[in-house]
Amino acid sequence: MKLLNGRRYRKVIGTKKQAEKVQKKLEAEIAEGKWDVRGTEDIPFSQLVDEYLEFIKLNKAVSTSKIRKYRIEAHLQPYFKDVTLSQITPQMVDNYKALRLRVGASPNTVNRELANLSHMLKMAVRWRYVNVNAVSGVQKMRVPERNCRFLDQEEIRKLLQSAKESYAYPLVMTAVHTGIRKSEILNLKWSDIDFTQRTVTIQAKADWHTKNYRTRTVQLTPALYEALKEHERQCKELGIQNEYVFTYRGRRIKGGISTTLKAIVKGAGLDNVTLHTLRHTFASQLVMAGVSLRDVQELMGHRSFETTLQYAHLSEEHVKKQVLRLPFANG
C-alpha cells in the first residue's frame, strides 16, 4: 500500500520482493506522467461549486440552473465550504441532513438538496477529482406519498367559466386541453401552432429547450382550436405582433401568471389550483376516459414510464367500472 498525493493505492502481488519491484515501477510511471492521478486534497468544495455552476449554465435549462444555483449558494456551500472533496464522507452528508431538518427544511426539500449534491459529486468523479460519490451511500428521506390534485369535470367547467373574461383565458384553456408544462406554455410561439393540421408542437427555441430535449406534437381539441383562433383574431385586431402566443398588453408573459390564476381560481370557488394542477388534470381525465398509460406518457412528454404510473390507480378504477357495462348488470 502506498500513499500518493494523500490517496492510498493498493495492488496485490505475489512475494514481497515482487511487490516492491512493481511499486517502484508504478512510482516511476506516475512521476513520468503516464498515470492521470490528481491529488484531491487540493480540490476544495468551493472550486467544484464554481466549475459545476459553469457546467450547468451551459448544459441545463435556465430555470434548472437558477434553482440549483440557489440550493448550492444558500445551503450546500455554507456547510461544505471549508472542506476538500476527499474529506466529504457519507457521515458528513448525514450530518447535513440532520442539520437541515433541525432548522425546519422539509424532507422533500432535503432530498432535492441531496440530489443536487449527488450530481455535483458525480461530476467530480467524472472529472477525476474523487474516486467515489459520497452521497451514493446516503439514504434519502422518506416522504409520504400524496395523491396528485386534479379537477373533475364540474371543477374544470367552473374554472374555465371564471377565466372567460380574463386575458389568461386562452392560456388556461391550453393548459387544460394539452397538459403541457408551464415553461412550455410560456415559450409557445405562433409558429408552433398549425391551424390547418390542428396541432401544437412543443419544441426547443434558441434560448430555451423542453425538459427532456424532446419535440412532441399534441392535437388541438375542437374547443382549444376555437379558443386559439379567437385569441389570434383579437391579437390582430389590437395590433399585437408578438411572436409568442401568450401576452399581456402586447408583451410576452414570462412568468408572472400566478396572481391572475389565483384570482381565476377564487372566482371559480376553488382552491389549491396551479398550472401544474391543470397538467395533472389533463393526464387524469385522459386515463379515466380509457386512454392507455403509454399514450398518456407520450402526450405528457414523460421520459420515464415510472412517472406516468402515478396515474395507474385511476386506470384501475376505470377498468373495474367496465363491468357495469354488461347488458345484464342491473338485473
Q: How do residues 47-77 score in pLDDT, each as one tens digit? A: 999 999 999 988 887 778 899 999 999 999 9
Question: What is the per-residue pLDDT for 11?
Answer: 55
- The larger pLDDT score, comparing residue 31 to residue 124, is at 124
Please list, in sequence order, all residues whose beta carbon lies within 8 angstroms of the beta carbon of residue 289, skipping any fewer than 6 positions away: 318
Split at pLDDT 50, 70, 90, the class of 12 is low
Question: What is the per-residue pLDDT for 325?
Answer: 63
DSSP letter at 326? S
Report d(CA 228, CA 218) in Å as an integer.
14
CB 133 within 8 A of CB 121: yes
**Per-residue pLDDT averaged across 176-201, rounded?**
95
Sign of the alpha-carbon torsion through 225, 230, 236, 242: negative
- Other Cβ atoms less than 10 A from the Cβ of 153: the count is 10
Question: What is the per-residue pLDDT for 61?
Answer: 76
* Residue 297 grid coordinates: 406518457
Sign of the alpha-carbon torsion through 181, 185, 189, 191: positive
Q: Is the pLDDT of residue 291 over 70?
A: yes
What the chain holds in terms of domains, given with CATH numbers, is 45-137 (1.10.150.130), 153-322 (1.10.443.10)
For residue 282, which of 293, 272, 296, 295 has the smallest C-alpha distance? 296
Split at pLDDT 50, 70, 90, the class of 19 is low
Q: Is the pLDDT of residue 7 over 60?
A: no
Question: What is the per-residue pLDDT for 327?
Answer: 67
Helix ranges (H only) for the chain are: 16-31, 45-59, 62-71, 77-80, 90-102, 107-126, 153-163, 169-178, 182-186, 222-237, 258-267, 275-288, 293-300, 305-308, 312-321
Report d(CA 31, CA 20) in Å as an integer.
16
Please list, in sequence order, all residues whose beta carbon lies within 8 angstroms of the beta carbon of residue 259, skipping any fewer than 6 positions away: none
The percent of residues above 70 in pLDDT, for the chain, comes to 82
Question: What is the per-residue pLDDT for 5?
Answer: 46
DSSP letter at 212? T
Mean confidence (pLDDT) of the chain: 86
- The larger pLDDT score, comparing residue 195 to residue 23, is at 195
Report d(CA 216, CA 174) in Å as an integer.
15
Residues 218-249: tens digit of each pLDDT: 999 999 999 999 999 999 999 999 999 999 99
DSSP letter at 208? B
Q: Is the pLDDT of residue 35 over 60?
A: no
Report d(CA 236, CA 162) in Å as an integer.
24
- The larger pLDDT score, comparing residue 267 to residue 21, is at 267
**Residue 6, exposed/middle/buried by CB under 10 A (0-12, 13-18, 19+)?**
exposed
For residue 221, which of 179, 268, 278 has the smallest C-alpha distance? 179
